[in-house]
Amino acid sequence: MKSLRSKFFSTKMTASGDHPTAESASASARAHDATPSSSTANDATSKNAPKSNKTSAVQDPAAAEDSVAMHKSAPATADAPADEVANTTSSPVSDAPQQQQQASRASEDEETHEAPLLAPTTTYEQASSSSSSSQLKSGPYNNGSHNDGHEGQQNGHHGHHDNIEAAGHDDASDSDEFSLTEGYETRSTGSTSATSSIYAHTYEHGRRYQSYKNSRYPIPNDDAELSREDMKHAMLLELLDGQLVLAPLEKNPQNILDIGTGTGIWAIDAGDRWPMARVRGMDISPVQPLWVPPNVDFLVDDCEQEWLMREEVDYAHFRFMATVLKNLPVVLGHAYDALKPGGWIEFQELNCEVFCDDDTMSADDPVKFLYDLTQQAFAKFNMNITIPKILRQYLTDAGFVNIQCVVKKVPIGVWAKDKTLRLVGMYQKMAILEIMQALAGRPFDALGLDQVQKEIIMMEARKGLDNPKVHRYFNYYFWFAQKPQ
């Protein structure tokens, strides 16, 4: 990693010196504003020039648009009907005052018009529209494997993984039919919820972080991150064909616990799916909605401390939690105590290692490098982002039985031939793009990276994500186990 990192920064630092600074861009903009426009000079000359049969055209595009819009909105007069304003041919005498007035207005508009310095932020809908393609080649849905406790061949595990079939390069672009809101289930408008008075936050790097019990959780909990979490929920619904759980629950579970509920979107869907069950979401941050199904409520609590709730539950659900827990054995002990005999526990986890099966990814791939750095950064917070692949031992040590694992490959980007996996891959790509700025905050600060290094890492990773010829993927692990009867 050291050699890769030194090679990466030595090559990229040289390239970074060619970019213009914000000060130079601002100076250029001021110089442009101070220069008289060509249309103003032409207007001054045209006042002394002989009248012709054609009006003078305003040469600045912005002024021309303002002028046309002004005349279109004004009512037609006897001297200048509305349909004649748009034409360039008119009588020399009757149009002369109008030409001078139009040129004067255009000159005023030109003086007050300022172009925006920054491009507008791309929305989810724009992102999905600009990064899409049609003519998808659908194939059989053969993603992942379901085996009785075998975790796959990757990194020394045993079991079978089906390779993802890549689409042709002409097909490997995002599709217009994909929407980043596809797969979201409508939230219920029930009337019951539990809220907390703990709303203290800290702000760093322009992002909001929860500060409950002075936590140093490395990822923000602001609106941008919460929206990303909801997008990942939609991605997993697509990946699991609409299933919320893989554990073999009874038909009508009575009590369900969602640990690390986040926005509460999984708990809300579970409340709608099992209306006779009580669903409780637990999280360290009070960021859940107020309007939820009547059988859903939320509890602000730290799952790594002693749990406040005392009821026994039929099912305990963890999603994207194993990688950020500092003391997983303690949490598993709490979950074991909370479960009824015969109850199930389930982890739905991303193993944050970038893989490739067909040698299209180079050893110094920028996306892989980003996640290698992320692994080092989270280790500074006593977190292991590759722990999902070894959860079997933790579950065994906690006393669980009937341990099973499903491993699914999730493409990064839209290179897969299968239509569902292309949609899932688009979600995964967007999830990475959305978290980059958060990784450049507390995690990369922990590695001592400066702002220039952070920007280079993110720039190269974005470029890498836009290359559909590189067939990267993550492994998602779905573990479920049972408390003995």
- Residue ranges per structural domain of the chain: 142-478
Considering the four listed CATH numbers 3.40.50.12160, 3.20.20.150, 3.40.50.2300, 3.40.50.150, the one that applies to the domain covering 142-478 is 3.40.50.150
pLDDT score for 62: 45
Q: Judge whether residue 298 has pLDDT over 50.
A: yes
Q: DSSP 3-state helix, strand, coil percentages of the chain (rounded to 5)?
A: 40, 15, 45
Whether the pLDDT of residue 132 is over 60: the answer is: no
**113-128: pLDDT as tens digits:** 443 333 333 333 333 3
Reported pTM: 0.64
Residue pair 282/298 in contact (Cβ under 8 Å)? The answer is yes
Residue 152 pLDDT > 70: no
Spatial distance between the Cα atoms of 30 and 34, rounded to a whole number of angstroms:
6
- Residues 47 and 198: their CA atoms lie apart, in Å, by 70
What pLDDT shows up at residue 361?
98
The DSSP result for 38-62, as a single string, is: HHHHHHHHHHHSPP-SBPPPP--HH
pLDDT band at 98 (very low <50, low <70, confident <90, very high): low
CA torsion 325-326-328-329 (nearest 10°) is -160
pLDDT in tens, 254-281: 999 999 999 999 999 999 999 999 999 9
Q: What average pLDDT does this structure show over 291-297? A: 93
Residue 314 DSSP SS3: strand
Query: What is the model's pLDDT at position 285?
Result: 84
Q: Can you tell me the mean pLDDT for 423-439?
A: 97
